[in-house]
Chain A
Amino acid sequence: MSTWYGVLEMNFHGILAIYKFEMARTWRTLMQSIASPVLSTSLYFIVFGTAIGSRMGDIDGVSYGAFIIPGLVMLSLLSESISNASFGIFFPKFSGTIYEVLSAPVSPFEIVSGYVGAAASKSVLLGLLILATARIFVDYTIVHPFWMLAFLLLTAITFSLFGFIIGIWADDFQKLQVIPLMVITPLTFLGGAFYSINMLPEPWQTLTLFNPVVYLISGFRWAFYGISDVNIMVSLGMTGLFLLICLATVWWIFRTGYRIKS
C-alpha cells in the first residue's frame, strides 16, 4: 500500500460490494430515502417560493423563488448526506455485522470509499431530483453548470464523510440524530438559505461568517446566478478545508481503531 503500485493491489471488488450493498438499501427504502426529501422540498417551494415569494422583491436581481433554490438543495444535500452515511456505518456496528468488514482484506480507504461513495452518490442524485422538481415551480438559470456540479459533488462527499464520522462516534440512536438535528439544521437555516446575509443587521452579519454552511450556500448560489455573499474562492477554500478536516479525522479513526475495534 505504501508503494506507487499500491493502487494495483486495491480491493476493487470489496469497494464495489460495499457500494452496491449501500445502494441496494437506498432502492429498498425508496420512499424514505428519495421521495420524502423531494416532497418536503416541494413544500418549501410552494410555501416560500410561490406563496410568500410572490410578495417579496427580487434579491440581487433574482426572484425570491429562484433565490432560495440553491439553499434548499444544500439543505437536503447536507442532511441527507449526513443521515445516509452515518446510518450506513452505524447500523452494522449496532447489529454486529461490522465484524465482516473488519475481518475482510479491505483497507480503511476502501471501506470509506464504499460507504461514503454510496452516500454521496445518493445525495447527488437527490440534489439533481430536487432541482428537476424545482423547475415545476420556478424558472431558474445555471450560469456555471460545471461549478454547480463541482459544489454539489464536493459538498456531498464532505458531508457524507462527516456523517461517516458521526456514525462511528455514535453508540446509540439518539447520538446519531443529535448532531444533524441540533447542529446542522440550525446552521443551514441560519446559513442564508432563505436570505442574503447582506440583509442581516450587525453583529449578525459578522457572526454569520463563522457558520461554515454560509460558504457552501453562497458558493452554490454563485454557480447558479453569478451572485454571492462571500467571494467564491473563499467558499471553495472553506469547503475544501472542511473536507480535509473530515479526511484527517477518518484517518485518525482507522489508525486508532476508535469505536470500531477493541
Chain B
Amino acid sequence: MQPIIQVQDLSKTYDSGFTALHEVNLEIQRGEIFALLGPNGAGKTTLISIVCGIVNPTQGTVSADGHDIVTAYRAARSKIGLVPQELSTDAFESVWATVSFSRGLFGKAPDPGYIEQLLRQLSLWDKRDAKIRELSGGMKRRVMIAKALSHQPDILFLDEPTAGVDVELRRDMWEMVRELRERGVTIILTTHYIEEAEEMADRIGVINKGQLILVEEKDALMAKLGEKQLNIHLQSPLTELPTGLNGFRLELAEEGQLLIYSYDSQQLGGIASLLKSLNELGLEVKDLHSSESSLEDIFVNLVRGA
C-alpha cells in the first residue's frame, strides 16, 4: 500500500546557518499511530512544520496522500490537521467562532452539527461561547485540537500534545487518539514521554540532531532491544570474572560485589544455568533482582550512542 506520508531526502538549514534536518527519509503508513521521539532541539517540530507547509524545506520532497506538499499544496494540506507545540490561539474570539474559522480556512462548507459533535467530544461544548482567553491552558489545548480536527483531516499531527497536561486530560487524549485511529485517521505525534509512545504508538521513530536514527515497529523494538537484566549481589567480591562463566553475558560492578547478567527476554533458560554455574563455582548469592529495560533506556542508549 502506498504510504500516506512520504518524506524523501529532506534537509533543512535555517537562515541562521543551522542545519536542523539531515536528509531524512520516512514513510508513514495509512492508519497508523507514529510516535517521533527525540530530545529537545532534535528537529521534530522542524520536520512537522515542513510537512504542514509552515517552514520551507531546503532540500528534498514530501508528499501527503500522494500529493506533493509544494506543487500540490492545496490537495496535500486539506488532508492534514496540525496541533502545534506552542499554545497560540486567538484571545478574543469565542471557541465556536475559532473552530468554525478553521473549518472555513481549510475550504470546507460550514457544518454546525459536526462542530457541535467535536466540541462535545472534547468537553468544550459548555465553553462554546466563552472567549479563548478565559479558558485554562488544558482547555486551550483542546481548542487547538478541535481546530485541527474541524475540517475532518485524514492525517493528524500532534506536536507534543500532552506537554503540560494533567494526568486525566492525558488519558482522555490517548483515548481520543485511539478513537481517531479507529476511524482511519493517521496520527503522527511527537513526545518526550516515553510511556506515551509505548502506550500509543504502532511504530516509533527516534530522531537526534536532525537525523532519523531509527524507525521500528514498537513491539519489534521492545522485543529486539528489550533486554532484561539480572542483578546478582554476591556475598564476597570478585576481582575478575571466573573463566567458568565465560558463556554468559556478564559484567562486574560495584567493586566486584555485583554481577550483572544481560539476557534476552525471549530466552529464559539462561538464568537457571547461570545460577547452576555460580553454585558450582562456590559463589554465594546474597540477593537477586531483575530489571527490564524500558523504551526510555533504549532511547537514552540510542541517543548517547549517536
Given A17-B104, A95-B88 in contact, is the A103-B93 Cβ separation under 8 Å? no
Task: State how many angstroms separate the Cβ of A96 from the closest Cβ of chain B.
Answer: 3
Report if A99 contacts B (CB, 8 A): yes
Q: Tell me whether B104 and A13 are in contact (CB under 8 A).
A: yes
Does the CB pair B86–A100 fall under 8 Å?
no
B193 at the interface (CB under 8 A from A): no
A257 within 8 A of B: yes
Judged by a CB distance under 8 angstroms, whether A9 is at the interface is yes
8 Å CB interface, B83-135 against A:
84, 86, 88-93, 97, 100-109
Is B56 a contact partner of A262 (Cβ separation < 8 A)? yes
- B: interface residue count bin: 35 or more
Q: Are B53 and A103 in contact (CB under 8 A)?
A: yes
Residue B29 at the A interface, CB < 8 A? no
* Chain B, 62-97, CB within 8 A of any chain A CB: 73-78, 80, 82, 84, 86, 88-93, 97
**Does residue B167 face the partner (Cβ distance < 8 Å to A)?**
no
B220 sits at the interface (CB 8 A): no
Q: List the A residue with the shortest CB-CB distance to B80.
A: A103
Q: Out of B55, B73, B93, which one reaches A24, CB within 8 Å?
A: B93
Per the bound structure, the CA–CA distance linking A249 and B74 in Å amounts to 23
Q: Which of A88-133 contact B (CB under 8 A)?
A: 95-97, 99-107
Tell me, rounded to whole Å, the shortest Cβ–Cβ distance linking A236 to chain B: 36
Q: Which of A14, A21, A95, A100 contacts B147 (CB 8 A)?
A: A100
B107 and A11: CB pair below 8 A? yes
Whether a CB of chain A sits under 8 angstroms from the CB of B248 is: no
Please give, as numbers and ranges, the residues of chain B lying within 8 Å of A262 by CB-CB distance: 14-15, 55-56
Closest to A1 in B: B74
Q: Are A100 and B92 in contact (CB under 8 A)?
A: no
A153 within 8 A of B: no
Closest to B90 in A: A97
Q: Are B56 and A257 in contact (CB under 8 A)?
A: yes
Most chain B beta-carbon contacts within 10 A, residue among A11, A95, A96, A261: A11
Instruction: Check if B53 sits within 8 Å of A100, measured CB to CB.
Output: no
Q: Is B54 an interface residue (CB 8 A)?
A: yes
Known: A24-B93, A97-B89, A262-B15. A102 touches B105 (CB 8 A): no
Task: Name the CB-closest residue of B to A12.
Answer: B107
Q: What is the CB-to-nearest-CB distance from B91 to chain A, in angstroms, rounded to a whole number?
A: 8
Most central of B54, B80, B90, B107 by chain A CB within 10 Å: B107
Residue among A9, A16, A262 with max Cβ neighbours from chain B (10 Å): A262
Q: Find chain B residues with CB under 8 A from A100 CB.
A: 82, 102, 105, 147
Are A107's CB and B74's CB within 8 A? yes
Q: Nearest chain A CB to B20's CB is how many angstroms away?
A: 10
A197–B56 Cα distance when bound, in Å, is 49
CB distance from A126 to the nearest CB of B (A): 21
With A13-B109, A24-B97, A96-B88: A102-B53 Cβ-Cβ less than 8 Å: yes
Q: Report the nearest A residue to B14, measured CB to CB.
A: A262
> Chain A contacts of B109 at CB under 8 A?
13
In the complex, what residues of B have CB within 8 A of residue A104's CB? 77, 105-107
A18 at the interface (CB under 8 A from B): yes
Q: Which residues of A contact B105 (CB under 8 A)?
A: 13-14, 17-18, 100-101, 104, 106
Chain A residues with CB below 8 A from B90, complex form:
95, 97
Q: Within 8 Å CB of B53, what residues of A? A: 102-103
Q: Interface on B for A, CB 8 Å cutoff?
A: 14-15, 52-56, 73-78, 80, 82, 84, 86, 88-93, 97, 100-109, 147
Apart from A99-B54, A105-B74, A106-B105, what 19 extra A-B contacts exist at CB < 8 Å? A9-B74, A11-B74, A13-B109, A21-B93, A21-B101, A25-B92, A28-B92, A99-B52, A99-B82, A100-B82, A102-B53, A103-B82, A105-B106, A107-B74, A261-B54, A261-B55, A261-B56, A262-B14, A262-B56
- What are 15 inter-chain pairs, A to B, with CB distance below 8 A? A9-B74, A14-B104, A14-B105, A14-B106, A17-B100, A17-B101, A21-B101, A97-B88, A99-B84, A99-B88, A100-B147, A102-B53, A105-B73, A105-B107, A262-B15
Nearest 10 A/B pairs, CB to CB? A17-B104, A96-B88, A105-B77, A103-B52, A11-B107, A105-B74, A104-B105, A105-B78, A13-B104, A17-B105
